[in-house]
Amino acid sequence: MGLWDWVMDKLAGDQKSSETTARAADQTGPGRENAIAVAEPPAGSVAAESGDCWWVRPDAHLTELAPVPRTQLSAELLALENIIASYFDGHDMNLPQMPRVPEVVLRELSSTDYSLRKIGREIAADQVSAASVLRLANSPLYRGMNQITAVEPAVIRLGAGAIRTLMLHQTMSALTRAERRASQRLAEILSVRSVACGATMRLLSKFTGMDPEEAFIVGLLHDIGSVMVLRIINRQKPYAGRVDFDTFEFLAYETHQEFGELLADSWNLPPKLGAILSNHHAYPDEHDPFRTDRLALHVTNIIGGLLGFAFEAPYDLLNARALQDLGLADHPDFMQFLARLPDDIDDALQAFG
């Protein structure tokens, strides 16, 4: 079984997890009939249903990003929606801090005279970061002729751009990992989505002219505000681990752009990244300074909706407005790119663990 199939099976859940969920429901005792819902995974990958041409759907008709539909919210969930919204009315958000190693490394990389050797020593002192660097340096995304077993040469092979990407991925992973105890399924979905979107953006950069690592970061972090939504839900004891997938998808869609902007400001991320995080659903106009980035992100989310790692909708990819505006529909290499994309995303998921 390929990694992509494994990921989709994991998101869909197996019989063992279903039995565990059923046992947990049986153990809730009196009042369990009033539970909100056990978190449900999204539908399976369209790639598996459509054969090699995963980008073709018989019901395809949407050429722009579809909004996540509002679900029928109970009184309890309406209260939760209001709680999430209240965080923009002077509520003490207690934004999560960036982990120490990513913070130190990113601060070093922001200087004009940064040293990759110094960064290598900082990373080598942390087992998790060291293992991540070695795995990435030896992955199909970055590996050279020889296997690397020491951190410093791995850092030098990767270079500043890839190290920056990895540190931001570690930050995203730390946030999602912190929510797994209460909402393992939703945290796993967000983790897979971030890497899959980052990889897709990076792969699209060969057509868009974006810097590959900058493109990866935009895709990786564009929905980071959704982790904040999950964090807030999990800190409300009546709701932790009990919000179903469709409801979470809607609640995150409502507010994740605003939360993403707040995190970007809190972590001193580049202004361009903060601007994209704050408003990436709207279609960019011709004078938008980040138009190419936003168009590529629209294409990435449409692809994600077809492959099963973003909100699913009947997209007509080849006639998508963003694809047309980027000039990709008639690009001679684009169909080969689509055919290889699921395997390339597999490689990225494996590389970033």
How is 45-97 classified by DSSP, letter by letter?
PHHHHHTT-TT--TT--B-SPPPPPPP---HHHHHHHHHHHHTTTT----PPP
Rounded Cα distance between 347 and 352, Å, is 9
Instruction: Average the pLDDT over 94-105 and give the result.
Output: 93
C-alpha to C-alpha distance for 272 and 252, rounded to whole angstroms: 22
Task: Give tens-digit pLDDT for 144-159.
Answer: 778 999 999 999 999 9
Q: Nearest to residue 185, comparing CAs of 35, 335, 37, 5?
A: 37
Is the pTM here over 0.75, yes or no?
yes
- Residue that the structure tokens 């807030």 belong to: 232
The token pair that represents 308 in the structure block: 């099963």
Q: What is the pLDDT of residue 91?
A: 62
Q: What is the pLDDT of residues 239-294, one digit of tens each?
A: 988 999 999 999 999 999 999 999 999 999 999 999 999 999 999 999 999 999 99
Which of 252, 335, 255, 256 lies closest to 52 in space, CA to CA? Answer: 335
Helix (H) or strand (E) holding 197: helix 180-208
**Residues 14-54: pLDDT tens digits?**
434 433 433 333 333 333 333 344 344 444 333 333 347 99
Closest to 45 in 3D by CA, of 303, 309, 249: 309
3-state secondary structure of 289: coil
- Provide the CA 133 distance to its chain's centre, in angstroms: 20
The residue count of the chain comes to: 353
